[in-house]
Structure 1
Amino acid sequence: QRGWLFWRVTASGRRSAGRQRQVIAFLLCVCVCQSGAETLRYALAEELERDSVVGNIAEDLGVAPSQLAARKARVVSEGNEQLFRLNANTGVLTAKDSLDRELICPQSDTCTLFFTIFLENPLQLLRGEVEVLDVNDNSPVFREKEFVLEIPEPTPPGSRFPLESAQDRDVGSNSLQNYSLGSNSHFSLALRTSKDGVKSSELVLDRQLDREEQPELHLLLTATDGGSPPRSGTAQIRIVVLDANDNTPVFDREVYEVRLAENSPPEQLVVRVAATDPDEGSNGEVRYTFTQTSEGSRQLFELNPSTGEIRVSGNLDFEEAKSHEMVVRATDGGGLSAHCKVQVEVMDVNDNAPEIELGSLTASIAEDAPPRTVVALFSVRDRDSGENGRTECAIDGDLPFSVTPTIGNYYELRTTAALDRERRAEYNISISATDWGRRRLSSRESLLVQVADVNDNAPQFTQEVYSMSVTENKGPMLRIGSVKATD
């Protein structure tokens, strides 16, 4: 058995059309040779026009296009929608519509779409991958066009003030790469990169402020990506210089670590952050806000500005995000602030039952088919992870059929013994899929298998000898008796 590896890259274009993926089970009434394990790999830039060429399947497999047509080649995408089209006459694989990488794989460094090529006579499966390459089609964007920082005039040089981060939907070198600050006499910019590669900036005070000399300062913050040519976005920073407030809020810890089940209901308490300020009056009153926190996390968690309680406000999904990091700013009435991190680890629960994908509810097989003939192909998908996403399949009853796994998440329904239509003309097979979670979830689908007749019985007379009599002198065409045979 051979295996192939191919890589094709297509130039970028413009247009956007987000699509999801689709998996379709494929059923055939044929005897099947061993399923293929070939993998075809291609790359296609996003935003190309519809019907852009991904690659030539026939050419890459080293077969004539006529063989693909003769074997009724077809392509099926994983997911909920067909993204590719295969011309069986030419072997050319094309994208049905323009692909928008940011819609298909948001916040993902790599974006790979999977497909399967089905061939008949004999049945063969070829796995394929298309990596959607990012183009620099998004500029960095700040949540607000203007940020206001209230800084007391006694603040010493060297003090740092975290700034709101810009968001760039592109990835890799096309994503946000740098921040810069407009020329001024009081502040410089410090850049930092987190463990996961996210870049942020802090305003550094270089020269002490004097409210009587300059009560407000206006700075221009620019975020730039690494595309060619680069794209950028800007935001205004308005510095309001305050009179003295000599105590900064202090959190009781720098990092809050929380573990939270993905099925946590809305309003459930996640954690309560607390900062204290010994100043009196409004200078000692602390209020809490999110900063340097992604839009996705802001939609899942809400922060009470008065109490510091963080509660669930959306639907957590372990399969979409396994962790969330938020930065909470505590600001007193005089404008002094402190920051802490909240790290939430989302724990997986078995909340998704396996999904059985049947292309048809009926199948047919000839009664003289030998044992281990493939009757049907179907797929099983479980959106959970680990043991919760591991599945096994079985069929109910003592029937001459079995279920065996094949490549990926596909299963084959095979015969285990010879069939006889004269004894039983059809089988209603109940297929069950069960995951391996602690609280095991399962689903069930039914498939009607019809046994097709073959000419395997000779006619038989009802008796070996028939005795009849007739008197003489009778005319022609006289009925003297009958014989009977059955099949």
Structure 2
Amino acid sequence: ATCMLPFELLLSNPLQFFRVEVALEDINDHSPVFPEERVTFDITERSDPGSHFPLEGARDLDIGSNTVQAYSISPENQYFSISYGTRSTGKKYLELVLEKPLDREEHAEMSFSLIAVDGGSPPRTGTTEVEIVILDVNDNPPIFTQEEYIGEVLENMPEGSVVLTVLATDQDSGVYGEISYQFSQAVGQTESAFLIDAISGEIRITKPLDYEAAQSHELSVRARDGGGLSAICKVLVAVVDVNDNAPEVVVSSFSSPLPEDTAPGTVVALFTVRDRDSGANGKISCGLEDQLFFSLRPAYKNYYELVTVSALDREETARYILRVTAADAGSPPLTSTQTFTVDISDVNDNAPVFNQTSYTMYVRENNVPTVFVGAVSA
């Protein structure tokens, strides 16, 4: 219900960190949407008044009072009413309720609109058409063995792997006891990553899943018998993370060349490490190859500073190749390396030195001007 956009602000010279969070508040900019534009129920004429027929509720991307608040039927009729609310388990439900006995000989079919209204100002609505086909005899709807099925799948499992199997039973015999399974299309879902066997209820994946894209998937399965009665169950598929993402090193700032008189403790580079995996697969440690002049130290959260630890001397080493390795705690661990090439710039820290402390030179008397006497070297 809370939508936060966090980011970090980095200022240099002097180095400062700020954490910024922007809270987004919801407005009523989405209308309720039913999963299907038209829903058909095949209902036996022997159905008792008070029978309930489950419907897929409308989805509204808004939250709070801006989401779906009420349902109604238009035009109202004497045979059906709408019931909705929340069960003691916290699950929302939406059902058609049969108010009086049906007679196929009087009405073989009927239709009406089901309207969902949200609580915005002004309110928005969504509509689906409900068609009722009245049949004979089939007086037992399918019943799932569970109201909700929960399964797990590794994100690197290959296409065609079985996630779980749903099962519904029907006390009727013959064609009225034959059950077929199908998914109810979710709002906004374009291409499902799952496939259900219409006869066995076996659910398979159609493509490898990505934990970093979606950590879980919610599916709605409808079981329909040969007489048109149906039941709905929810399937929750949790995607289990595997270590398939190497750590990333993102450099925020880097200073090169460095003057050779740079004081120990000077920040040379600032970088952050991140890993899209979770748990131990996303826990990162950083290391610097053996160095006498540089070291790593934690700065903030996943930030690290590359700093000097002793005096530099360009006349001894003019360039340093520093390799920072980030490794996660997965099994096996994945690593990535970031190379920093630090050039050392010269400062005037060396006075001239003569090759000899004293020189002795000879010249003949009566020499001509500009005669070569000798040379000194520093």
TM-score, normalised to structure 1, is: 0.71
Residue 257 of structure 2 is matched in structure 1 by 364
Inter-CA distance 319–216: structure 2 relative to 1 (3 Å threshold): same
Distance 1:295 1:197, change over 3 A: farther
**TM-fit CA distance, 1:365:** 2.1
CA distance in 1, matches of 2:88, 2:192: 23
Q: Can you list the C-alpha shifts for 1:251-294, whole angstroms capped at 9, x where unaligned?
A: 34444332222222221011122223353432222111223856
CA shift, 1:207, in A, is 1.8
Match of 2:49 in 1: 157
1:326 aligns to what? 219
Match of 1:337 in 2: 230
- Equivalent residues of 1:176, 1:199 under 8 A apart: no
Separation (CA, whole Å) in 2 of partners of 1:155 and 1:297: 36
Query: Structure 1 vs Structure 2: percent identity of aligned residues?
Result: 50
Unaligned runs of 5+ in 1: 1-108
C-alpha distance 378-118 of structure 1, shift in aligned 2 (>3 A):
same
In structure 1, the partner of 2:149 is 256
Alpha-carbon spacing, 1:342–1:274, altered in 2? closer, same or farther (3 Å) = same
In the aligned structure 1, how far is the partner of 2:205 from the partner of 2:124? 35
In 2, Cα distance between equivalents of 1:185 and 1:111: 44
Q: Does 1:450 align with 2:343?
A: yes
The whole-number CA distance in structure 2 between the counterparts of 1:133 and 1:198 is 25
CA distance in structure 1 between the partners assigned to 2:69 and 2:361 by the alignment: 105
For the pair 1:215 / 2:111, whether they are aligned, the reply is: no
Partner of 2:95: 202
Which of these residues, 26, 29, 35, is aligned with residue 134 of structure 1?
26
The reply on whether 1:440 has 2:311 as its aligned counterpart is no
Deviation at 1:196, TM superposition (A): 11
CA apart distance, 1:295: 5.1
Alignment partner of 1:467 is 2:328: no
Ranges in structure 2 where 5+ consecutive residues have no aligned partner? none
Q: Which residue number in structure 2 is paired with residue 32 of structure 1?
A: none
User: Where does residue 14 of structure 2 map in the other structure?
Assistant: 122
Instruction: Decide which of 196, 200, 206 is 1:303's aligned counterpart.
Output: 196
The question of whether the paired residues in 1 share the 8 Å contact of 2:49 and 2:98 is answered with yes
- SS of 2:233's equivalent? strand
Q: Name the structure 2 match of 1:11.
A: none
Deviation at 1:360, TM superposition (A): 7.1
Normalized per residue, which structure has more strand? 2
Deviations 1:327-354 (A, max 9, x none): 3221111112233333323222222111
Query: Deviation at 1:184?
Result: 1.9
SS at 1:331 equivalent: strand
C-alpha separation in 1, matches of 2:175 and 2:100: 27
Alignment match, 1:177: 69
Q: Distance in 1 between matches of 2:118 and 2:208?
A: 31
Shift of 1:481: 2.2
SS in structure 2 opposite 1:461? coil
C-alpha spacing 1:116/1:179, structure 2 compared with 1 (3 Å)? same
Distance 1:198 1:167, change over 3 A: farther
Separation in 1, partners of 2:185, 2:349: 76
Aligned CA RMSD, in angstroms, stands at 2.6
8 Å CA contact 1:370–1:418 kept in 2: the answer is yes
Residue type at the aligned position of 1:437: G
Aligned mates of 1:408, 1:465 — CA distance in 2: 62
Q: 1:125 to 1:449 in 2, by over 3 A?
A: same
Aligned residues of 1:362 and 1:450 also touching (Cα < 8 A): no
* Partner Cα distance (1:463, 1:197) in 2: 95
Q: Letter of the aligned partner of 1:188 in structure 2?
A: S
> Which residue of the other structure, out of 232, 235, 240, is the alignment partner of 1:347?
240
* More deviation, 320-329/410-419: 320-329
Higher alpha-carbon deviation: 210-219 or 397-406: 397-406
1:393 has 2:286 as partner:
yes
Report the more deviating stretch, 282-291 or 455-464. Answer: 282-291
SS for the counterpart of 1:363 is coil
Deviations 1:444-484 (A, max 9, x none): 12111112222211111111112223334445444422222
Cα contact 1:383–1:389 (8 A) shared by 2: yes
Q: 2:126 aligns with which of 233, 245, 249?
A: 233
> Contact 2:254/2:268 (CA < 8 Å) preserved in 1?
no
Residues 392 and 132 of structure 1, relative CA distance in 2, 3 Å threshold: same
How high is the TM-score relative to the length of structure 2?
0.90
Deviations 1:301-335 (A, max 9, x none): 22121221111124423334433333322111111
Deviates further, 400-409 or 290-299:
290-299
Shift, 1:402, TM fit:
1.6
Structure 1: distance between partners of 2:157 and 2:9: 41
Distance 2:217 2:307 in 1: 45
Q: Which residue of 2 aligns with 1:25?
A: none
Q: Which moved more, 1:469-478 or 1:181-190?
A: 469-478
Deviation at 1:169, TM superposition (A): 2.7
Deviation at 1:200, TM superposition (A): 4.7
Structure-to-structure mapping, 1:59-138, within 5 angstroms:
109-138=1-30
Q: Please state how far the C-alpha of 1:145 moved relative to its aligned partner.
A: 2.0
